[in-house]
Amino acid sequence: MKHIFTISLLLLFGIYLPAQDLQPHNQQFVRILPGEPIDSIIAKAAHVTPSKKQLVWQEIEFACFIHFGVNTFTNREWGTKEDVRHLYDPTQLDARQWAKIISEAGAKEIILVTKHHDGFCHWPTKFTDYSVKNSPWKNGQGDLVADVAAACKEFGLKFGVYLSPWDIHSPLYGSEAYNEFFKNQLRELLTNYGEIAEVWFDGACGQGPNGQKQVYDWNGYYEVIHQLQPDAVIAIMGPDVRWVGTESGYGRETEWSVVPVSAGQLAEIAASSQQKDVGGAFVPIDMMQADLGSREKIINAGALMWYPAEVDVSIRPGWFYHESEDSLVKSPEKLVDIYFSSVGRNAGLLLNLPPDKCGLIHENDVKSLLGMKAILDKTFDKNLVKNARIVASENRDENRRELLLDGDSRTFWTTKPGTKTATLEFTLDNQQEFDVLLLQENITNGQRIEEFSLEVFKDGKWIELTKGTTIGYKRLLRFETTTASKVRLKIISSRDCPELSEFGLFKSSIPVSNLN
């Protein structure tokens, strides 16, 4: 009896029975006990892992946002309650042009703004007349959501929807009826347009037409998504993907996908992961803090969860198209810098392209985007260590170290159980010139590495070239161009056995000093 009681207590508090050597299990959420020893907390943190859909999302790496709407025609960033549907009349709108360029740029997903804060709907919704069906575009016969969904399918892209909870137009806004209206809109989007990979909820919550603010039924919104598109991640105001904290395009140098959440939020977390009732919006942490997941942060947590970062940024200063910004499109070099500082810092990149009044992505934007792609393709064309001989300080399995160079982020090298530091020496057939380091961790078993450095062997001694903290799904570091035939990666600190899936050295196709 006493045993049963102890076992249920242990299970209740997320302690794992000593089936084998007290190793924590991999899971997306884990509780921390009051007074739990630090080593045990760190071991748990090392085994917090992405859900299946979070993993699929992470591997997308690069997605594009499309902000197009009545604001495109009124030249505004945020609409007003003024009815401007008569202005929505793109003459050459071509969602295929968007998808073609976006897939050529190497992105894997489009997230379309289906309704911004102004309330104008880009599909012929049954629930309001403030939509494309009452605009001049295609004499009210158009459906932008259907066009983009079809174009994504044609070009092999995933499709996501942004639906603004804040609605300046709806007379229902500020009442319980609005939540029903919003859920009905979600149901239309999640039923009629095929597979949806991501639902993006904005945090903005302003006043509606009556000056009222809405109390959002987040729980109800999540339920609709879980029911209709269980594989879709819910981003920003949701449990699967977090906002990186700025709209600058730059993630943190130390970016943990395992973050602390307070004990008070445990019930909500458990419920949301099981797709049950949750209370408020799922925003467990202040996403603007500089440090989210260091040891100091996690040892005081009530629980830990896998909650990866998304970096959203526009190719222009604004999210919507403004002719006055045609000369302010970010350069290819700037976009490359953003890529290195988002995808290369363990985050997903969501780059916004705002189509112009004709309904096309402007030529300046296309030029920059494809310019970025050309630089990245040339840079990452050849892993210069591809045929290197590898000597590891320790291998769990002799053959596995070759997996570091196989281009597959799900195969990995690791150390023997218990070993948390390591060195990996790569010897090349001849001298190579390089200035970019690529590292990937096998996140299917968690994010663990806390500190590493890269050294080159020159004039009979090892010299440090660069160093970093977190790796996660992907880490890219640039440094002064160096020529060498022998390099060494040092894993200085890790929360459990380091599991590295990829190692690469490249030569940037543009000077590394000239990237801003």
Q: Is the Cβ of residue 146 or residue 205 nearer to ligand FUL in the bound state?
A: 205
Coil, strand or helix: which one is 424? Answer: strand
Q: Is the Cβ of residue 77 or residue 326 nearer to ligand FUL in the bound state?
A: 77
The alpha carbon of 194 is separated from its chain's Cα centroid by a whole number of angstroms, namely: 22
Site string for ligand FUL, 311-330 (x = CB under 6 A): -x------x-----------
How far apart are alpha carbons 324 and 234 in whole angstroms? 34
Minimum CB distance to ligand FUL, residue 62 (Å): 16
Q: Is the Cβ of residue 354 or residue 446 nearer to ligand FUL in the bound state?
A: 354
Q: Is the Cβ of residue 69 or residue 142 nearer to ligand FUL in the bound state?
A: 69
Minimum CB distance to ligand FUL, residue 221 (Å): 17
Minimum CB distance to ligand FUL, residue 148 (Å): 16
Binding residues for ligand FUL, rule CB under 6 A, total 5
In the numeric block, the tokens 């029975």 are attached to 17
Q: Is the Cβ of residue 94 or residue 202 nearer to ligand FUL in the bound state?
A: 202
Read off φ and ψ for residue 426, nearest 5 degrees.
-115, 120
Minimum CB distance to ligand FUL, residue 189 (Å): 16
Minimum CB distance to ligand FUL, residue 144 (Å): 16
Interacting positions 73-102 with ligand FUL (CB under 6 A): 77
Those residues with Cβ within 8 angstroms of residue 310's Cβ, 6 or more apart along the chain or in another chain: 235, 236, 241, 242, 243, 244, 347, 348, 349, 350
Q: Is the Cβ of residue 71 or residue 368 nearer to ligand FUL in the bound state?
A: 71
Kindly state whether residue 204 participates in binding ligand FUL, applying the rule CB under 6 A: yes
The alpha carbon of 426 is separated from its chain's Cα centroid by a whole number of angstroms, namely: 31
Q: Is the Cβ of residue 78 or residue 457 nearer to ligand FUL in the bound state?
A: 78
8-state DSSP, 334: H
Kindly state whether residue 198 participates in binding ligand FUL, applying the rule CB under 6 A: no
Read off φ and ψ for residue 148, nearest 5 degrees.
-70, -40
Minimum CB distance to ligand FUL, residue 73 (Å): 16
Minimum CB distance to ligand FUL, residue 114 (Å): 12
How far apart are alpha carbons 306 and 473 in whole angstroms? 12
Question: Could you tell me the end-to-end alpha-carbon distance of the chain, in angstroms, rounded to an integer?
Answer: 67
Mark 452-490 as b/e (b = at least 16 C-beta within 10 Å).
bbbbbeeeeebeebbebbbbbbbbbbbbeebebebbbbb
Interacting positions 276-315 with ligand FUL (CB under 6 A): 312
Kindly state whether residue 202 participates in binding ligand FUL, applying the rule CB under 6 A: yes
Kindly state whether residue 221 participates in binding ligand FUL, applying the rule CB under 6 A: no
Q: Is the Cβ of residue 202 or residue 253 nearer to ligand FUL in the bound state?
A: 202
Minimum CB distance to ligand FUL, residue 190 (Å): 20
Mark 258-295 as b/e (b = at least 16 C-beta within 10 Å).
bbbbeeebbebbebbbeeeebeebbbbbebeeeebbee
Coil, strand or helix: which one is 115? Answer: strand
Give the strand pairing for 109-115 and 158-163.
parallel
What residues line the site for ligand FUL (CB under 6 A)? 77, 202, 204, 312, 319
